[in-house]
Chain A
Amino acid sequence: MSEETLGRTLLVATVVALGCALMVSTAVYLLRPMQLVYADLERNRIVVEAAGLVPPGSRLTDRAIVSLFVDLETRIVDLETGRFTEDVDPRLYDQRAASNDPEMSVAIPEQLDLGRLGRRARYAPVYLLTNGEQINRIVLPVHGQGMWSTLYGYISLGSDFNTIVDISFYEHGETAGIGDRIQDPAWQAEWVGKRLYDDAGELRFTVVRNGAPPFQVDIISGASVTAEGVGNLVRYWLGEHGYAPFLARLRVSGSASVEG
């Protein structure tokens, strides 16, 4: 063991810290591009599952997921007017990038900002499952704050544009084993069949303690902040500032032909 002086101690500590920092950042820098490819695949898988294209219990290959995803009908919705728009190419549109682009996004009024987002993109990509004229299912992207992180996921509605058939998140930074129970199949199953709006078209859906049908989902005990975050972001996105005008329009026309 060598002689210990303050200078020497500080020097060794600095060299070790810098060496370790270099090692970790090099690894992350080299691996990130491959991780992004996987993240994209994971997002596609969640959309395809939310659209009900994956039979329960079966596992699809990566290739099958991508081909199902590419075959899904993707449309862009202008959230302001509640109509489909052709202004941007659905294949290239990046909602997350648009949310940070002042040209492509709008500020969310503070009293409406349940997902604590600040801004949202003007356009949203939605995925439709149709049989000819009728829309059987619609998959809507949603995001908002959980406890520690922004949660990104999809909510899927049935042909009445009111009943939830699926909710799933593909990206979050919540605590493993606690907040990440928002991905627990048992909790996701509680959402199925719950309704968003009452007969007057009022948004009644909430995530609360001891939630009961037809409009409520029970919080996750031990992860109530994250679960309430999910409830709030769903309330924001399915509310007046989100998809509500668009869904109301679909409910009247009942088909994919709500052009212009």
Chain B
Amino acid sequence: MSYRRDFLDPLINTNPITVQILGLCSALAVTSSLLPALIMSVAVISVLAFSNVAVSLMRTVIPRSIRLILQMTLIASAVIVVDEILKTFAPEVSRILSVFVGLIITNCIVLSRVEAFAMQNDVRASLLDGIGNGLGYSLILIPVAGLREVFGSGTLLGYSLLPLTSEGGWYTPNELMLLAPSAFFIIGLLIWWIRAWRAQQVEQPDYVLHTVEDQEMM
């Protein structure tokens, strides 16, 4: 695979959320408004890029028996640094994101890229793969968060878009949009839409049911 593909494939073709169905927990939790989702995207991209590069650099010296714990140590350290930076420069968003920045450590996207990709590929490919997967994650996170904020609170990035009835406007906010299940519906619709457009993403069924004929019973 070329470097170009390493970077572009995770955007749509192997998107971590819609194709690999990973990282859904945080995608549900941080998408009730746009700003936290943007910050979360930057955080995940940084962590993915750092841990992919670090693991790729060390892939020849990492002993197989302790590779997972070393990968986790590197990921956790990157996440702590990112969390501290957020607490310093974006303290209010950091409070909204609360545990979800720390939980990037357990985000399956990060460990899966490190273990499945960075352990076998050179540094440049790993960096591109990390950023690509981070962007693929953001590409889902950001529209979901935008939709939820507009229809749930009538605002986008805090600016009023649909004037609310409670403030003399005409829009009654859909409060379901502020709850996590709405992200499930939106992501589900997105997956449906992407697979209708890119039919090769539809998985073949593992088993096919067939009608049992009388003869077969004998």
A residues lining the B interface (CB < 8 Å)? 1-2, 4, 8-9, 12-13, 16-17, 20-21, 23-24, 27-28, 31, 34-35, 38, 42, 176-177, 180
Contact = CB atoms under 8 A, between A and B. Distances in A.
Name the residue among A4, A20, A34 with the largest chain B CB count within 10 angstroms: A20
Contacts of B84: 27-28, 31, 35
Contacts of A8: 63
A176 B64 contact: no
B74 A16 contact: yes
Given A20-B73, A31-B88, 11 more contacts: A9-B65, A12-B63, A20-B74, A23-B81, A24-B81, A28-B84, A35-B84, A35-B87, A38-B91, A176-B99, A177-B98
A27 B70 contact: no
A41 to B, nearest CB: 9
Q: Which 6 A-B pairs have the closest CB atoms?
A: A20-B77, A176-B98, A176-B99, A9-B63, A27-B81, A31-B88
Nearest to A28: B84
Interface residues of B, number: 24
A54 to B, nearest CB: 15
B62 interface: yes
Interface string B77-118: 100110011011101000000110000000000000000000
Chain A facing B: main interface SS: helix
A24 B75 CA distance: 12
Interface in B48-84: 58, 60-66, 69-70, 73-74, 76-77, 80-81, 84
Contacts of B98: 176-177, 180
Contacts of B66: 9, 12-13
Contacts of A177: 98-99
Interface string B139-161: 00000000000000000000000
A12 B61 contact: yes
A147 to B, nearest CB: 16
Contacts of A31: 84-85, 87-88
Interface in B133-183: none
A3 to B, nearest CB: 9
12 contacts: A4-B63, A4-B64, A9-B65, A13-B66, A16-B58, A17-B73, A20-B76, A27-B84, A34-B88, A38-B88, A38-B91, A180-B98
A1 B64 contact: yes
A31 B69 CA distance: 27
A28 B77 CA distance: 11
Nearest to A26: B81
B148 to A, nearest CB: 19
Nearest to A36: B88
Contact of A2 (B60, B69, B77): B60
Nearest to B81: A27
Contacts of B60: 1-2
A34 B94 CA distance: 15
B85 A27 contact: yes
A9 B62 CA distance: 8
A23 B77 contact: yes
B104 to A, nearest CB: 14
Contacts of A16: 58, 70, 73-74
A16 to B, nearest CB: 5
Contact of B77 (A1, A24, A176): A24
